Each structure stands twice: as C-alpha cells, then as structure tokens.
Amino acid sequence: MNDVSTNSPVAQRPAHVTDAVTYDFDMFGDAAYVADPHKRILDLVKNAPPIFWTPRNGGHWMLMTHSANFHASRDTEGFSSEIVPQAMIKAMMAKMPPGSPHIPQPLPITIDPPDHTAYRMPLQRAFSPKAMLGLQKSIRELAVDLIEKMKAKGGGNFVDEVAEPMPVQIFLKMFGLPLERQQEYRTLVKEHMEGNQNHDPRAIVARMLKLTSIMRETVLERKENPQDDLISMLWQSEINGKPTTLADLENYCVVLFTAGLDTVVNGISHGVLHLAKNPDLQRELRANPEKIHGASEELLRRYTFTVPLRRIAKDLNFQGVEMKTNDRVMLFLPAADLDSSEYPEAERYDLQRQNSVHIAFGVGPHRCLGSHLARLELQIVYEELLARVPEFRLDPDKPVTYHGGHVVGPDAVWLRWN
Ligand code: HEM
C-alpha cells in the first residue's frame, strides 16, 4: 500500500473482492498521480491488474483496459449512471415540504435509458456539428482576444489567461447570459474544479443552487421573449411529449455547466503543456496548420483526462471479475486510451497513428454531447496560439502543478517565449 498522507482512509474490502484484483490507488490523492498524472497512469497500465478494486475513497473498481471501458460504457443495465437511483431521488423529493426549491440534477448524464434518451434529445440538436459551426467565428474572436492579451504580458499561466476564461465566455454566449456577470460564473467554475477533489454532496447541491439562482432571471425572461440562444431553444423543446419546465431548464443548465467547462479547461491545458514541451511539434504544426486537427485528436488520446462513474445495477461477472449490486466503478478512460493492445506504442505521441479513434469523449449512450464544440474550441486555440505566439516553452522557474479526481489536469502551465 502507498504510504502517502494525502491518500484517503482505507475502506473494508467486501467479501466478493479477491486479493488478485485488489490494488491500492487513490485517484484523488495518490502522490505520483498528482505530481504527473499520465506518467502514473502508464505505470498503472503496466503494473496494476486490468480491472482492480481499490480501498481508497470508500472503495471502488477501476477499469483500466480499452475493452473493459468500451463494454461497460455500453452496458447500461449492468453499469448504471444512476449513482443514486432515480426512484430514490423521486421519493426524497416527494418528502420535501411544499415550496422547497427545485434541486437541480445534471440530466441526462445521471440517468439510464429509456428516460436518458428523452432528456438527451433536445441537447443533441443544440450541439449538432452544424449548430456548432455557427459558433466558429465567435470562438475564434474570443481565442484571439485572450491569446493577444496573454502575449502582451510576455507570458503567463496559460490556464488562467486562456484555458479557463474561454469556455466560460462561450457558455455565456451560447446560453445568451449577460457577459458582465462572467466573474460570478468563473468563480463558480473554480469552486466546481476544486470541489472535484471531494465528494461532499451538500457542497455540490449548494453550488448547483447558486448556479441556477444566478441564471434564473435570464431563463424566465427567455420564456417570454425568445431569442437566438440555447435557453430559448430549450424552452421550445419537449421531453416525452411534454413542453419543458423551469425544472428541466435548470437541469440542463447544470449539466452543461458541470460537463462542458472544466473539461475544456483541462483539455486545452494538457494540449498546450505538451506543445510547450515539444518545440519540434510546434514547428511542424506552424509549417503545416492542416495537421492541427489530427494533432488535437492525438493530444486527446494521449492525455485523456475524464473518469466517469458508474454503479453496478445487478450482480455480474465482468470479464472474469465478480461485481455486486451497488459497487462503484470508475471508467478510467485515461488508461483505456493508453492501452497498447489498442494503440501500439500507446505512450508515444504519434501523428501518423493508424488507429486514431480514441475514447476521450466516452462511448455508448452517454457519449459526450459537447464533443463537436469541444473539438472546435481546442483546435481554434491551438491554431491561434501557434499562429500568434513565437516558439513557447515552460517557465523553468514555475513548475507545472496538477490535480487528480474525475477530471485530471494541470492547474498551472506557465509559458515563456523570446
Ligand atoms: C475536451 C472536452 C470534453 C471531454 C473530454 C468530455 C468528455 C465527456 C465524457 C467522457 C462523457 C461521458 C460521460 C459518461 O459516460 O458518464 C461526456 C458526456 C457529456 N458531455 Fe462532455 N466532454 C468534453 C466537453 C464537453 C462540452 C464542451 C460539453 C457541452 C457544453 C459537454 C457536454 C456533455 C454532456 C451534456 C454529457 C452527457 C451526455 C449524456 O449523458 O448523454 N462536454 N463528456
């Protein structure tokens, strides 16, 4: 067992978990992981069992291989996204006194089919590739503005200067929310990213209530005066044949906020960190900007960074491992994308890779709804950064720092250039 003070306490191992599939790893606090996440993931891929149970953070399974993650993601009957079953949530809500505030839920990410499909449908249209192309111009303007501001300073922490403000501003623009209030949203994103380090459900609910309360005025206003934005579009949608309600709108706001902001922040930061360490790659992409799309995809594979959660919904034997109802499972997608049986020499960042189909956006019914938007944001940032900033590198005086958790990534990436 690791003897690291930041690791969570050790949970009692359930009887159905054997020694052979037990391995100690704390996805929040493991010192080597927090020091350099993907180095540690490569170490786990080599040394840990392909599916293992860790006693940390209350005890849970970790799926390491591509095959395990692929199949579990598609098996919604065995691997439920309802970490708290919907029936239980409905029963709790029914007991709340009349007039209690609506407790927003990040739907559809936390429900299973068939309801999942009904809740996903309205968002699917809003985030189609065609709809996203309409945003291209404003994403580029925003990226240029942030990059030029950082450039004028002669360097800076890329996470704070570009990676974090960019998706927040795009979120506000898509939703038609007032840009003047961006500081409130940025503070909430920061709190959400820090909250990713612990699972206090009361703190999560408090943050979600804060988010819906700052959005409510605009949400209600758009019902009366529809405009060309996402909120107005969602008001005109139906779920299971019924018009959407304020509660539905609040659920959608919450899911897009939690799923669409810190993911992009971390994605861009991983990518720019790799570029900063690899001047040859910068040169190659500056000379051949048409390669940036492929480069961005390979960055997503090499530095996959989200870890979705599932609950075992019925006792099962999964790829030879006994799992019991209510066991918790981490889809450790970062390891799946470094599985050498799927990607030869998986460790190598390789623009010529034959199999470039990664699992960074998940797979199965919950596959990322925002992948077209995310891809656009990543690609445009790389294009504009490479076009505007001369060869950049990491500031040797300011080390890169990282966080672990469900969205793993750098907190600080200080850049310098001549
Ligand atoms: C590089 C950035 C991103 C990555 C790596 C990423 C990754 C993922 C992954 C792995 C899932 C599957 C979760 C699961 O299986 O439980 C997911 C779901 C989702 N993502 Fe993303 N995401 C990104 C950006 C975005 C953006 C920009 C948005 C929207 C603004 C978004 C919205 C969603 C939504 C709504 C879901 C839930 C889909 C469902 O449950 O049907 N994501 N994302």
Rounded to the nearest integer, the mean pLDDT of the chain is: 93
User: Can you list the alpha helix ranges (DSSP code H) found in 337-404?
Assistant: 371-388
Domain covering 1-103+307-359: architecture: Orthogonal Bundle (1.10)
pLDDT at site 33:
97
82 pLDDT higher than 50? yes
Q: What separation in Å is there between the alpha carbon of 300 and the centre of ligand 1?
A: 13
pLDDT at site 54:
98
pLDDT at site 188:
82
pLDDT at site 405:
92
pLDDT at site 197:
58
Q: What amino acid is encoded at 188 in this protein? A: L
pLDDT at site 231:
93
CA distance 160 to 138: 20
| Bond into 108 cis (ω within 30) | yes
Average of pLDDT values for 373-390?
97
1 pLDDT higher than 60? no
Q: What separation in Å is there between the alpha carbon of 107 and the centre of ligand 1?
A: 12
Nearest CA, atom 15, ligand 1: 366
Of residues 254 and 44, the one with the higher pLDDT is: 44
**Ligand 1 pocket list (CB less than 6 A):** 73, 81, 108-109, 120, 123, 255-256, 259-260, 263-264, 267, 306, 308, 333, 360-362, 366, 368-370, 373-374
130 pLDDT higher than 70? yes
CA distance 351 to 298: 7
Query: For residue range 389-406, what is the model confidence (pLDDT) as tens digits?
Result: 999 999 999 999 999 999
Average of pLDDT values for 30-45?
97
Query: For residue range 295-314, what is the model confidence (pLDDT) as tens digits?
Result: 999 999 999 999 999 999 99
Average of pLDDT values for 8-19?
95
CA distance 366 to 76: 9
Q: What separation in Å is there between the alpha carbon of 361 and the centre of ligand 1?
A: 6
Query: For residue range 165-215, what is the model confidence (pLDDT) as tens digits?
Result: 999 999 888 888 888 888 888 888 778 777 665 667 778 888 888 889 888
User: Can you list the alpha helix ranges (DSSP code H) found in 278-411?
Assistant: 279-287, 292-302, 333-336, 371-388
3 pLDDT higher than 60? no
135 pLDDT higher than 60? yes
Superfamily of segment(s) 112-304+364-418: Cytochrome P450 (1.10.630.10)
**54 φ/ψ angles, rounded to the nearest 5 degrees:** -110, 140
Query: For residue range 50-72, what is the model confidence (pLDDT) as tens digits?
Result: 999 999 999 999 999 999 999 99
Among 132, 256, 368, 408, name the best residue to mutate to test ligand 1's pocket (greatest count of ligand atoms within 8 A of Cβ): 368
Q: What separation in Å is there between the alpha carbon of 362 and the centre of ligand 1?
A: 8
pLDDT at site 4:
44
Which structure tokens are listed for 130?
A: 């065609």
The rounded percent of the chain whose pLDDT value lies above 90 is 76
Beta bridge partners of 392: 417
269 pLDDT higher than 90? yes
CA distance 363 to 32: 28
In the chain, ranges of CATH 1.10.630.10 domains: 1-103+307-359, 112-304+364-418
